[in-house]
């Protein structure tokens, strides 16, 4: 469970989020929408605790923003997968090694790494490209690698920050379909986006950020 209780975030004299309370349950697919600069990325950063609230409390599973220690944050992030708009792949490594890197960092036994890498590459349809370098891939393929890397540790929640922002409309729909398939297999997905056309096609829960508040969109969007 992800829970925000009275969360506010101040940047200088500007309150970006104001007294936000929300819950995201295991297995959900949630769109986080709003204009550029409204705070979508900030909400995701609060979840993986790259940022702590100015007031209020964020709970992610057993972790609490009010009490978490710096040394505990890597363990929190093993329970989350994060996908970014600009992929953040290691350009000097192969597709296989980009995914394996995450597993090495988290101390996965060497005997398990190959099995997990090939499984996640299969899930995103890129087993055939495992030996290619990142720069040899299309934008959509690079994002699939980024998603595979985020899934490698079998997270309970996948956080996707504008994952289709650098992609054409057709490829964006392919990535959305992939994320929905991942969700159907049991991983909760929180996708921040300003691509309202994708949101309308997906028929999933929508949280909208506006003027520092987050409200649930009910009915046609």
Query: Across the 221 residues of the chain, what is the mean pLDDT of every consecutive 10-residue run?
Result: 96 92 96 93 96 97 95 91 91 94 88 93 94 93 94 94 91 93 95 92 93 89 72
Are 181 and 22 within 8 A, CB to CB? no
pLDDT value at residue 117: 95
Nearest alpha-carbon partner for 62 in 46, 76, 49, 48: 76
pLDDT value at residue 71: 92
**Roughly how many angstroms between the first and final C-alpha of the chain, as a whole number?**
26
> Is the pTM of the predicted complex or chain greater than 0.85?
yes
Are 193 and 199 within 8 A, CB to CB? yes
CA distance to 44, 55, 70, 73, 173, per residue, from 62 (Å): 17, 19, 15, 12, 34
How far is 209 from 221, CA to CA, in rounded Å?
14
pLDDT value at residue 107: 85
pLDDT value at residue 133: 95
Supply 129's token pair: 């490209």
- Taking CA 193 as the corner, what is the angle to CA 191 and CA 195, rounded to the nearest 5 degrees? 130
pLDDT value at residue 12: 87
pLDDT value at residue 201: 86
């Amino acid at each position: 469970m992800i829970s925000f209780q009275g969360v506010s975030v101040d940047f200088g004299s500007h309150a970006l989020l104001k007294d936000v309370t929300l819950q995201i349950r295991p297995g959900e697919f949630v769109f986080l929408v709003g204009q550029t600069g409204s705070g979508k990325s900030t909400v995701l950063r609060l979840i993986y605790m790259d940022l702590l609230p100015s007031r209020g409390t964020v709970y992610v599973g057993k972790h609490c923003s009010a009490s978490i220690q710096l040394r505990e944050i890597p363990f929190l992030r093993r329970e989350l997968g994060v996908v970014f708009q600009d992929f953040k792949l290691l350009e000097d490594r192969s597709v296989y090694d980009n995914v394996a890197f995450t597993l090495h960092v988290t101390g996965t036994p060497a005997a398990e790494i190959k099995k997990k890498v090939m499984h996640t590459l299969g899930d995103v349809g890129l087993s055939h490209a495992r030996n290619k370098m990142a720069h040899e891939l299309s934008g959509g393929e690079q994002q699939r690698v980024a998603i595979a890397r985020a899934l490698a540790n079998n997270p309970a929640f996948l956080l996707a920050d504008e994952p289709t922002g650098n992609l054409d409309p057709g490829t964006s729909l392919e990535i959305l379909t992939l994320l929905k398939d991942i969700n159907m297999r049991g991983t909760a997905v929180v996708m921040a986006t300003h691509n309202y056309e994708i949101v309308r096609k997906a028929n999933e829960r929508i949280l909208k950020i506006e003027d520092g508040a987050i409200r649930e969109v009910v009915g046609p969007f």
